[in-house]
Chain A
Amino acid sequence: MRLPVLNQGDSGGGCGGGCPPEPPGDSRRSFLRTTVSVGAGFAALGAALSPLRDLDVDKAFSGDSLLRDHYKELSAEEKARLFADIEAQIDRSYGVKASVGDPQPIPGVEFVYALNLSRCDGNRACVHACVKENNQSRSPEIQYIRVVEMPIGTFDPEHGDHYYGDEETPKPGHFYMPMQCHQCANPPCTKVCPVEATWQEADGITVIDYDWCIGCRYCQAACPYWARRFNWTDPEIPADELNPDMAYLSNRPRSRGVMEKCTFCLQRTRKGRMPACLEACPTGARKFGNILDPSSEVSQILRNKRILVLKEEVGTRPRFFYYFDERGPQPNEGGAA
């Protein structure tokens, strides 16, 4: 090959290889010029990146996510170690001794929610109980349950008021429709996740591995019930309001940049308790239980009541049902309610 040999002058500014030999002074000057421009380039890049200095890595990225495995790949020992790490982290950030558990789906149990629209009076006790129980961010505010005040005569929430005042409920001529994750049997949100960070468990609850989510928000776009929330920045929860009874897949504190959602309070319900929203409801509009048990309250409701499935036409097969109290004779059931 007949390659022209690069001479010293080559490191100079406007000379693309094989310049005529320069006097030594020029070469030094051009070397200086290159050094100065490369230096200026790096300085500019450094200045551009300077906001990164304010980044609180421990808070924002919760330690070791780079090495953390997907939930489904964790062995029992790895889980124990990981949960201890998370507990230590919570102790560091909040000064709270929390316990992070991992309750498993109970065999033979499939959870279903039923909500009585005739009873709900729009008091929003469920919304606030949920925030407390599930350690949602208080600032910016994240809520899993949205209650819409709707005028009688329509079922289109577009005609409803999402921001009505709590104090004047129930308003005459209106009814209230709380909406949260429907825990669909055919969930569009899990299908679209590019990294399998969200999936449906055996008891029908759709969960998220907060340490696996990459924050693309495709699931949020896919959900027809607007049930998913994103952490647009580091969540803030006052330490004295932190619920220390936590589960890995539900109410442990989330980090920024990940999705979260209602998990039917699996940290409670998989241990035989009721969801926080149900316990808080003063009207008795909320019913929860195992659909596979024919004697459960929800099974009876689904057998006997008039049921409304929200957006049945999108084919998501929700596990969240609305129903109505009926008055007067029951044409199909021989009068038994």
Chain B
Amino acid sequence: MRAYARFLYRCFRVSFVGDWRYQLWMLGLTILTLLGINAWARQFTEGLITTGMTDQVSWGLFIANFTYLVGMAAAAVMLVIPVYIYRNKELHDLVIFGELFAVAAIIMCLLFVTVDLGRPDRMHHMLLRFNFPMSLLTWDVLVLNVYLLLNLHICGYLIYCRYRRQEPSRWFYIPFVFISIVWAISIHTVTAFLLVGLGGRPFWNSAIIAPRFLASAFSAGPAFIILTLMAIEWFTTHPVPRKAYMTLRGIVLVAMTINVFLLGSELFTEFYADSAHIASVKYLWFGIHGHDQLVPWIWTALGMNLLALVMLYLPITKSKKLLAPACLLLIVGIWIEKGMGLIVPAFVPTPIGEVVEYMPTANEILICLGIWAFGLLLYTIFVRVTIPVLSGRLVEDQIFHTTPNAAAEFAADQRRTRTQEVPS
């Protein structure tokens, strides 16, 4: 126990160590987080009136980011499956970065739901009267928290074993890895069902939402991991084999193809039938009664997604220079489509035909930025701490040398990783 506390303390210390780029990045994220906290304090003081939400459009940017981030948490499982089921060697040492991202993403999800509550001071009512299994929201609370615990356990255990130079006991994590695979699928399905189950909202009340949710998640998540791996390769000496990128590129490609196909099926069904059901879809893609705020967004998203897909199909994205922009396009495209594009149109028009548009306020946007910054801050710390552990520099019985001089640190890091083979 003392040894573990000491491990956490050392991790905490290491998270403050880095070169000027690292310090600047962390400073920026901290400032954004503080701005977010400030905006949230204002919201807590005045009520949700500080947001752009209304009785007509009663869910907005918070829930949009929530649904998107549930998808991003899939990043983990898309690394876990190749490694643990197909025994892919290239990804083996990288899978932990996916699981760590899942932890950060789920924490962001929980924060987004919390800031959306009118009465966060009554959160404990969930523990006292839990409307399970009737309310899908209770399912979501369960699956998200369990997924968080699963990933925390797997990452925490593996990292701690490395730190103590112990061989991890398979029985202590492999079963959880397999549970987490099924569980990852459940978090998307449940989050999609949360919306799909509402008969009064034809925009959501469609069986295709859950599969599409999975497909978009399985493309945006791994795309984000590709960018993370590039950053790790660029800023540290942790080795990332080229084949790892190519495996992930293949996953993104397949998932994105399915996603675009499902989108086509959805649009065909809606627009060819052209029934009264399509008011919301029409609002999203073309606008109704002169209200068309989301139209430029969704077409941008479509353009980004299609461009990314074409780029991924071409051999040009076998080079990292073009793989990065393709991933970035895809991540932003899906953020628009799975965020605002999935949540807001369901409320326009209202079930009794009123058309009111939603425009997030600056305060609301600041809260979102704050949560994103906090999530990235956490993830950066996780990665920052994990790399020296994986490379055998931060271990229990050894002094961890760091100097404020980054160049010297990196050089030391490089020498070590070259000279000593890391046991896997």
Binding site for B on A (CB under 8 A): 1-4, 10, 13-18, 44-45, 47-52, 54-55, 60-61, 65-66, 70, 140, 146, 148, 156-160, 162, 179, 188, 191-197, 212-218, 220-226, 228-234, 256-258, 311, 314-316
Does any Cβ of A come within 8 Å of B396's Cβ?
Answer: yes
Binding site for A on B (CB under 8 A): 3, 6, 10, 13-14, 16-17, 34-35, 37-38, 41-42, 44-49, 51, 53-56, 58-59, 113, 116-126, 128-131, 134-138, 141, 194, 197-201, 276, 279, 346-347, 349-355, 396-397, 399-404
**What are some 11 contacts across the A-B interface (CB < 8 A)?**
A17-B400, A54-B45, A65-B119, A70-B125, A188-B199, A194-B141, A214-B126, A216-B118, A224-B351, A257-B48, A316-B199
Contacts of B131 in A (CB 8 A): 193-196
Contact partner, A192, options B48, B54, B128, B136, Cβ 8 Å:
B136
Contacting pair A49 B55 (CB below 8 A): no
- Among all A-B residue pairs, the 4 with the closest Cβ atoms: A215-B118, A224-B200, A257-B118, A157-B353
Contacts of A221 in B (CB 8 A): 58-59, 198, 201, 346-347
Contacting pair A214 B118 (CB below 8 A): yes
Q: How far is the CA of A258 from the CA of B119 in the complex (A)?
A: 7
Could you tell me the dominant secondary structure of chain A's interface residues? loop
Contacting pair B119 A215 (CB below 8 A): yes
Q: Quick one: closest B residue to A159, CB to CB?
A: B353
- With A4-B399, A49-B37, A157-B353 given, is the CB distance from A315 to B199 under 8 Å? yes
Contacts of A232 in B (CB 8 A): 47-49, 51, 53-54
The distance from the CB of B63 to the nearest CB of chain A, in whole angstroms, is 9
- With A4-B399, A156-B276 given, is the CB distance from A214 to B59 under 8 Å? no
Q: How far is the CA of A314 from the CA of B351 in the complex (A)?
A: 11
Known: A158-B355, A195-B130, A224-B199. 9 other contacts (CB 8 A): A14-B16, A17-B10, A48-B35, A192-B135, A192-B197, A192-B198, A222-B198, A224-B200, A229-B55
Contacts of B55 in A (CB 8 A): 220, 226, 228-230
Contacts of B402 in A (CB 8 A): 14-16
Contact partner, A156, options B347, B353, B403, Cβ 8 Å:
B353
Choose among B51, B118, B128 the residue with the greatest number of A CB atoms under 10 Å from its CB.
B118
Contacts of A220 in B (CB 8 A): 55, 58
Contacts of B353 in A (CB 8 A): 148, 156-160, 162
Contacts of B351 in A (CB 8 A): 223-226, 311
Contacts of A16 in B (CB 8 A): 10, 13-14, 17, 400-402
Choose among B38, B121, B351, B355 the residue with the greatest number of A CB atoms under 10 Å from its CB.
B351
The distance from the CB of B59 to the nearest CB of chain A, in whole angstroms, is 6
The distance from the CB of B126 to the nearest CB of chain A, in whole angstroms, is 6
The distance from the CB of B386 to the nearest CB of chain A, in whole angstroms, is 15
Contact partner, A217, options B59, B397, B403, Cβ 8 Å:
B59
The distance from the CB of B27 to the nearest CB of chain A, in whole angstroms, is 11
Contacts of A52 in B (CB 8 A): 41, 44-45
Q: How far is the CA of A47 from the CA of B349 in the complex (A)?
A: 41
Contacts of A66 in B (CB 8 A): 121-122, 124
Contact partner, B48, options A1, A162, A228, A233, Cβ 8 Å:
A233
Q: Quick one: closest A residue to B11, CB to CB?
A: A16
The distance from the CB of A162 to the nearest CB of chain B, in whole angstroms, is 5
Contacts of B194 in A (CB 8 A): 218
The distance from the CB of A6 to the nearest CB of chain B, in whole angstroms, is 9
Contacts of A140 in B (CB 8 A): 49
Contacting pair A215 B400 (CB below 8 A): no
Contacts of B3 in A (CB 8 A): 1, 3
Contacting pair A146 B118 (CB below 8 A): no
